[in-house]
Structure 1
Amino acid sequence: MGTADWTAAVKKRKRQKLSTRKSKAEEQNKNEVKSSSSKIKSQGRKKNEIEAKASKEQRNDTVQFATAFQQLEFFIHQYQSCNGVQLSSLELDSLKEAGFIELCQGPSRNTDSNLGEHMKVAFGSLWKDVLCEKYIQEGKLDPGNPALLVISLSAIRSLELLRELRPLTKDCHAAKLFSKHMKVEEQVSMLKNRVNVASGTPSRIKKLIDMEALGLSRLAVVVLDMHTDVKGYSLFTLPQVRNEFWDLYESFLHQPLLNGDLRICLYGPVPSVSEGKNK
């Protein structure tokens, strides 16, 4: 190979190397740009997800509790709808707003004692004596007679609500009145002590009343849980539980409510009557 040919070959190899390095640099550059773009997009998606979650939590942070009138209206509609009756004007007049507890609007999250705080307000200045005292008072306070009764859709939900009431039940334990993992005999035995707070499902509550193990002489407030389960059912819409509740209500709660001896609280968002009609 002549000098000229050798020089040309060297130059060609150099050009090829430069071209290869340039191609690699361009490819690396493209990959970096692509990676950076993907990272930016990913960060953008994460930011949007975080903002959406925060927005959702903020919306859920405050439960808009119903007024006493809205609770009364919903309650009457549900009663008539489930039982297939139309209350007379006289019967309607006997059900008053004063029989329903209007809860203060406020945060429902990040507070383990939300229901407990509401009940302190509902019972007024004597809440400690009524809801926390653990001793039976001979001749004045019989065992197995709660002042506060919480009625919900399921055992799981009953336990969740009891957790919210835990600050009130440290000294005087709450009665768990549901059938899941709880024998009637155990509950009857437990109700031989002083009980200030009880939480359970309609069927078991009524059964214990019928057995004269659960008394209602002290009952001042009944909390009806408005929570819906994963299938969208609530105390007022799951057929069997709903029927059991109205049976309990008519048998033991209706007359005290009319007499002004009992107040009801619908705990949670209350659908409007128009929404209730579609249930």
Structure 2
Amino acid sequence: MGTATTAAANKKRRKQPEQLRLKKSIRKTKTKEKKKKSSNNKIKNNEKKNENAVTARESNVVQWATASQQLSFFIDQYQSANRVQLSSLELDSLKETCVVELCQGPAKNITGNLDECAKIAFGSSWKEVLCGKHLQEGQVDAGNPTLLVISSSALRSLELLRELRSLTKECPAAKLFSKHMKIEEQVSILKNRVNIASGTPSRIKKLIDMEALGLSRLAVIVLDMHKDVKGYSLLTLPQVREEFWDLYRSYFHQSLLKGDLRLCLYGPIPTNSEVKKRKPNDA
């Protein structure tokens, strides 16, 4: 019975029209092409992922603003926020040397970590100045950082301190913000050698007012220009912005004019086309 059925089936197959066999052949060809296309798409997707990965790595390389661009932006922000016009004498004192230059030589393209910027700022003496752990009477007094990082929030301060971790192994950095930190605890920390401190304007000013935080060694101030999730930064978040300029006017402006202090605007700053310059008496 089985043999007869098979023979009948073979006979029937041989009688299939040529057109039907052609259709089946076309379907098989299309299936093969579809599989091949799918395979090619997978290859392209993998290539795209690799390209994206390379782009992501490249995006960590920062094209820094020049000293001139940083200084111009900072002066404009100062005059606008304080509704003043700097005198010609003050403007002459604010030279490009007042700003840390991150765009020359090997610093032109560097990853965005703050520890690299700090090394550039202090040059060949960075290890001695930023990593030393012993007090030196008359030279390195307690509670006097040489690098001060100012940001808009406690969370951002901690993020920046993580970027400085390679420099703070021997001499821990001081955390100068109010969230989860009692001021008495910070005063105690500042009784030791401190090379690097990071915090928010209000707490920094309060500790200076109390004479717990000293400025005798202060050489570089880093202003964090990165924006938070809402698009605010140190110089645009309303209350923090006012606290920063109060701190700056009280303790840093004159030192900057004398050339005893340098600024570093860390992160992207708006270009001239992105900033509408306001007159000093504008709101």
- Shorter-chain TM-score: what band? 0.7 to 0.9
Conservation of the 8 A alpha-carbon contact between 2:76 and 2:277: no
Conservation of the 8 A alpha-carbon contact between 1:77 and 1:273: no
Give the equivalent residue in structure 2 for 1:4: none
Give the equivalent residue in structure 1 for 2:72: 73
Give the equivalent residue in structure 2 for 1:181: 180
Q: Secondary structure at the residue paired with 1:273?
A: coil
Q: CA deviation at 1:193?
A: 1.0
Conservation of the 8 A alpha-carbon contact between 1:73 and 1:273: no
Deviates most, 246-255 or 234-243? 234-243
* Matching of residue 136 in structure 1 with residue 135 in structure 2: yes
Q: Which of residues 107, 111, 129 in structure 1 aligns to 2:110?
A: 107
Amino acid in structure 2 at the alignment position of 1:263: R
Give the equivalent residue in structure 2 for 1:253: 252
Give the equivalent residue in structure 2 for 1:36: 36
Amino acid in structure 1 at the alignment position of 2:237: L
Counterparts in 2 of 1:14 and 1:172: CA distance versus 1, 3 Å: same
Give the equivalent residue in structure 1 for 2:156: 157
Amino acid in structure 1 at the alignment position of 2:221: V
Equivalent residues in 2 for 1:1-279, closer than 5 Å:
11-12=11-12, 15=15, 27=27, 29-55=29-55, 57-58=57-58, 60-103=59-102, 104-108=107-111, 114-277=113-276
How far, CA to CA, are the matches of 1:80 and 1:98 in structure 2?
Answer: 20
How far, CA to CA, are the matches of 2:69 and 2:217 in structure 1?
Answer: 27
CA RMSD of aligned residues (A): 2.9
Give the equivalent residue in structure 2 for 1:3: none
Q: Secondary structure at the residue paired with 2:148?
A: strand
Q: Secondary structure at the residue paired with 1:123?
A: helix
How far, CA to CA, are the matches of 1:74 and 1:135 in structure 2?
Answer: 38
Q: CA deviation at 1:20?
A: 9.1
Conservation of the 8 A alpha-carbon contact between 1:131 and 1:147: yes
Amino acid in structure 2 at the alignment position of 1:107: I
Which structure 2 residue ranges, 5 or more long, are not aligned? 1-6, 279-283
Q: TM-score, normalised by structure 2?
A: 0.82
How far, CA to CA, are the matches of 1:71 and 1:209 in structure 2?
Answer: 26
How far, CA to CA, are the matches of 2:178 and 2:144 in structure 1?
Answer: 19
Q: Secondary structure at the residue paired with 1:143?
A: coil
Counterparts in 2 of 1:10 and 1:29: CA distance versus 1, 3 Å: closer
Counterparts in 2 of 1:134 and 1:19: CA distance versus 1, 3 Å: same
How far, CA to CA, are the matches of 1:123 and 1:50 in structure 2?
Answer: 37
Amino acid in structure 2 at the alignment position of 1:203: S
Q: CA deviation at 1:40?
A: 1.8
Deviates most, 229-238 or 213-222? 229-238
Q: Number of residue pairs matched?
A: 268
Conservation of the 8 A alpha-carbon contact between 2:225 and 2:233: yes
Which structure 1 residue ranges, 5 or more long, are not aligned? 1-6
Percent sequence identity over matched residues?
A: 64
Q: TM-score, normalised by structure 1?
A: 0.83
Conservation of the 8 A alpha-carbon contact between 1:177 and 1:198: yes
Deviates most, 132-141 or 181-190? 132-141
- Residues 93-140 of structure 1 show CA distances to partners (whole Å, capped at 9, x for unaligned) of 23222211101312216xxxx432332332234333322111122344
How far, CA to CA, are the matches of 2:160 and 2:72 in structure 1?
Answer: 24
How far, CA to CA, are the matches of 1:9 and 1:262 in structure 2?
Answer: 97
- Residues 7-65 of structure 1 show CA distances to partners (whole Å, capped at 9, x for unaligned) of 9998447646x99998777655544432332232233234234324423542x243121
